[in-house]
Amino acid sequence: MTLNYDSFYTPRIPAFGHDPETNPLFSEDILTTYVDEHAPSCTNCEGPAMGGKTPGLSSFAALDKPFPHPPGETVCFLTAVSQTSSSDQNPIVEVSFKLVASNCNTDPPLRDKTATLSVASVDPNNPPNLAFASLINGGDSNKFHYDSKNGVNVQDINTNKLPSGSYFVTVSSTLFSPVTTTFIIP
């Protein structure tokens, strides 16, 4: 299930609420993917998009969870850089970000075990809505590891079978508001 919605609000921690009952309390977060449309090259995107595991027929809502300990950490940078491989069989984009408590110049880098990423592009069948990309390895490819030498959280995504075009990568976490960058597949 995918929800595209019109909003200029950046959530702290996005949630895709599902109400399996008939009352107005959203008791289940079904979020699996989230893309923020505020990437530099997404000037005409309709709004953010979120995807979730498909539950039974019921009501849904885009929600915002508070941080467990305000105000949240600071992301100093987020990059998505194509990597060259010797075989060219598995084209890889390395997504990395530096996380600190608050000051990028003085605070030590932090590891984030909760960060996940989502990849999307403008839906060619329904512009300007966003469509999520199906990544190889599914959820296994959605885990960041910590590079202590460089002080960054890193995840390599396999872009094999993704068509040429511009893509948005949004990293979400329980420690900071979603951040977005782009990459291009020629």
Q: What is the pLDDT of residues 85-124, one digit of tens each?
A: 666 567 889 999 999 999 999 999 999 998 989 898 887 7
Dihedral class, residue 89 (left if φ above 0, else alpha if ψ from -120 to 50, else beta): alpha
So what's the pLDDT on residue 145?
Answer: 93
pLDDT tens digit sequence for 58-77: 576 677 776 666 667 999 99
Average pLDDT of span 158-183:
88
Instruction: Collect all residues with Cβ–Cβ distance below 8 Å to 183 and sequence separation of at least 6.
Output: 80, 81, 82, 93, 166, 167, 169
Write down the domain spans for the chain.
2-65, 74-185
Fold of 74-185: Immunoglobulin-like (2.60.40)
pLDDT at 139 over 50: no
> pTM of the predicted model, to two decimals?
0.73
